[in-house]
Structure 1
Amino acid sequence: MLLKLMIMDAYQKTIQDLLQDLDITINGSQPWDIQVHQKYFFKRVLQSGSVGLGEAYMDGWWDCESLDQFFTKILGAELDKKVKGNWNVMLQGLKARIFNQQNRAHSKKVIAQHYNTGNGLYEKMLDKHMMYSCGYWDGAETLEQAQENKLELICQKLKLEPGMKVLDIGCGWGGFAAYAAKNYQVQVVGITVSEEQEKLAKKRCEGLPIEIRLQDYRDVDEQFDRILSIGMIEHVGYKNYPVYMKVVNRLLKDDGITLIHTIGGNKTGFVTDPWINKYIFANSLIPSAAQLSNAMEPYFILEDWHNFGLHYDYTLMEWLRRFKAAWPELQGKYNERFYRMWEYYLSSCAGSFRSRKNNLWQIVMVKSTYPKEYKSVRFLGKQPAVEVEK
């Protein structure tokens, strides 16, 4: 028994040593300090890394008043790399290099896991356009305005004109399609592999020149003036980036413009965070600049690369606020463990953007046949006026 206690104390000391330089105290009084309720917490984290930390939170083994601040500190210091995790994590990395984790069958599994969770959750958490991606907060005071700014920014970057035919790859609930059709008088084909998204998108886009399809982008076979994807490349996987670029090149007219709106990583990787992979986005991958550049090189000319990753921090914190406010209505469908999982997910992601571990990129590309000079757009206004907890 004494030996067992000494080992448990050693686990705790190891965690304490890792946290002390970050001004994080175990059972301390600061908002970013962690409150540990289960003595086996320390062993679980050291054994299982990211998965152990996340699952322990879901199980109620620890709490933190301000999870987003906690994650900002540990991710900014790259503490996640110091707790490597177990052999299962390393095995996932090896599998990602050998196998195509984002083939057609796996892609449908990802959508079923996350986007088919239920439209009701997203209707409560998101803005009126139901945009499940980063807003553009220049001059915005509300989530609605930030998302409308983003939609307008994309439309301006695409140089939309009435009568154009637009392909929205991974159209979600039809937010961009509806905005572009109403405000720029274009025809939009929106494709998704989520049955839940397809049903609601069709309903939300009814009466507009929009066609919503349950279809994989690799099966599309027609020409478009403009092509875009918003928050979809993260599900493509690095083995399929060249395929994506080749398909878009085939579908895009010679004078067309294509845009990618994606989360981006500072360094090239081949797997996502293990906890995110297990509970949120299976087989997803945040691309690096090198991976995307190499894939686009044979097919496109790069015209614009815009980074506004800090805006995702504001967006995620507003989603978290709305999720918490709506919980009394949602908890009949979801249990307490789901609540803690979703809280952990949104808070940890906010910390990753605030610490500059992740970015948000909008990338504009054209073919070599594009006949005009492309002029970049930023749609800049005053700095965000929202109050964001730090």
Structure 2
Amino acid sequence: MINWQEVKEKVTIMNRIIKKIKAELEPAGIHINGTRPWDIQVKDDRLFERVVRNGSLGLGEAYMDGWWEAEALDRFFTRVLQARLEKKLALKPAVILEYLKSLLTNRQNQDKAYEIGEHHYDAGNDLYKIMLDKRMVYTCGYWQETETLDEAQEAKLDLVCRKIGLQSGQRVLDIGCGWGSFAQYAAEEYGAEVVGITVSKEQVELGRERCKGLPVEIRLQDYREVNEPFDHIVSLGMIEHVGSKNYRTYMQTAHRCLKDDGIFLLHTIGSNRSVRTTDPWIEKYIFPNSQLPSIRQLALASEGLFVMEDWQNFGVHYDKTLMAWYQNFDAGWDELKSTYSERFYRMWTYYLLSCAGSFRARKNQLWQIVFSKQGISGGFVPPRYRSEG
């Protein structure tokens, strides 16, 4: 027999939840089942209770399950983050659990160093070949005076080479080398010798193939294991996997391996606040054991080891990069769907477009930091754009 009183109470509670969520979305100009591209289209009413219970983790998982849509997911997240609605989702069990884990354990210690490689970067080279540019650069492009993803990534690689003053025959350590994009470029265009290290077996295999015949060595190696001299060091999009408990060790490793007159260039996504955790959905599905560094955290980690010569922020360029990656991924889905599920498609779409919205809202930044060990005589001179020099 149906207990109509219980049904009535559940309906009343659900109506209250929906009313509350509608009110919270109002400052962002987002309407439930509205007509604009950034409005949320609800396909399953269980969404509301799931979000209230599990916050951003529930929101992301509900999208993966097809419980809601937004025609322009990137624009939805831009509005959510500009209105700071993520704070409404903050004090949920998943968030609290991740915070406690970060306090009580070192989630990026050496025993766990290879987990991110297995989970994310070993997801399949075919996926990344379709999504990325021709050089397979999996970091923010530099869109200054460029129009295509290929051009933006080459401009970024060239900018890095010019910032470190790379000369033919110099030996460079690339911490977190990916599929060897920087190593290949530096060897081909500047005549450098490069040692690249990564924790991804898939990246090592393809990176060695792409760099065959060049003075490039690609290693499956944790950064803490390196102990040899280099003229310069670059690290492009790797410290996001290091964790604040290990930033000092990371900086000490770079200091140990860098010659006294060398340059260390750190390229990283940055957070506006010093935090120990990442978004629970990103942590679970995309980048386990990840953490975005803040200015304060990087400054403290490098204090007494390096002179900070230059700090450039081009975080707005990551929005364009992520949108280009999504367009490539979406256009190439027919080639991938025999290998990956529809749920994976929704997960990857959510990842790329939510991150694009985050950078557009200036929630996240992209920093290139130039360090020297003893200070550059006369100071660091930022390189001109390629068309000027």
Residue 142 of structure 1 corresponds to 148
What is the letter of the counterpart of residue 220 of structure 2? L
Give the alignment of 1:5-44 within 5 angstroms: 5-44=11-50
Deviation at 1:233, TM superposition (A): 0.5
Alignment of 1:287 onto 2:293: yes
Deviation at 1:321, TM superposition (A): 0.4
Alignment of 1:248 onto 2:254: yes
Residue 232 of structure 2 corresponds to 226
Cα distance in structure 1, aligned partners of 2:370 and 2:343: 40
Deviation at 1:370, TM superposition (A): 4.8
Please give the per-residue CA displacement for 1:177-221, whole angstroms capped at 9, x wherever unaligned: 000001111100011111000000000000000011111111112
Residue 279 of structure 2 corresponds to 273
Cα distance in structure 1, aligned partners of 2:378 and 2:195: 25
Give the alignment of 1:24-173 within 5 angstroms: 24-173=30-179
Cα pair 1:317 1:350 within 8 Å, conserved: yes
Superposed structure 1 runs of 4+ greater than 3 Å apart: 369-373
Given candidates 177, 202, 205, the residue that maps to 1:199 is 205
TM-score by length of 1: 0.96
Cα distance in structure 2, aligned partners of 1:358 and 1:381: 29
Residue 3 of structure 2 corresponds to none
Q: CA 1:106 to 1:273, structure 2 compared with 1: closer, same or farther past 3 Å?
A: same
Cα pair 1:256 1:370 within 8 Å, conserved: no
Cα distance in structure 2, aligned partners of 1:381 and 1:285: 36
Residue 332 of structure 1 corresponds to 338
Give me the CA root mean square deviation.
1.2
Cα pair 2:57 2:94 within 8 Å, conserved: no
Cα pair 2:50 2:58 within 8 Å, conserved: yes
Cα distance in structure 1, aligned partners of 2:128 and 2:152: 17
Task: Give the gaps of 5 or more residues in structure 2.
Answer: 1-6
TM-score by length of 2: 0.96
Residue 217 of structure 1 corresponds to 223
Alignment of 1:373 onto 2:379: yes
Please give the per-residue CA displacement for 1:121-173, whole angstroms capped at 9, x wherever unaligned: 00000001100010000111100000000000000001001110000011000
Cα pair 1:138 1:381 within 8 Å, conserved: no
Cα distance in structure 2, aligned partners of 1:309 and 1:85: 27
Identity of aligned residues (%): 55
Deviation at 1:377, TM superposition (A): 2.5
Give the alignment of 1:319-358 within 5 angstroms: 319-358=325-364
Cα distance in structure 1, aligned partners of 2:280 and 2:251: 27
How many pairs align?
Answer: 382
Q: Secondary structure at the match of 1:101?
A: coil
Deviation at 1:234, TM superposition (A): 0.3
What is the letter of the counterpart of residue 312 of structure 1? Y
Residue 195 of structure 2 corresponds to 189
Deviation at 1:78, TM superposition (A): 1.3
Cα distance in structure 1, aligned partners of 2:45 and 2:128: 36
What is the letter of the counterpart of residue 44 of structure 2? Q
Cα pair 2:231 2:263 within 8 Å, conserved: yes
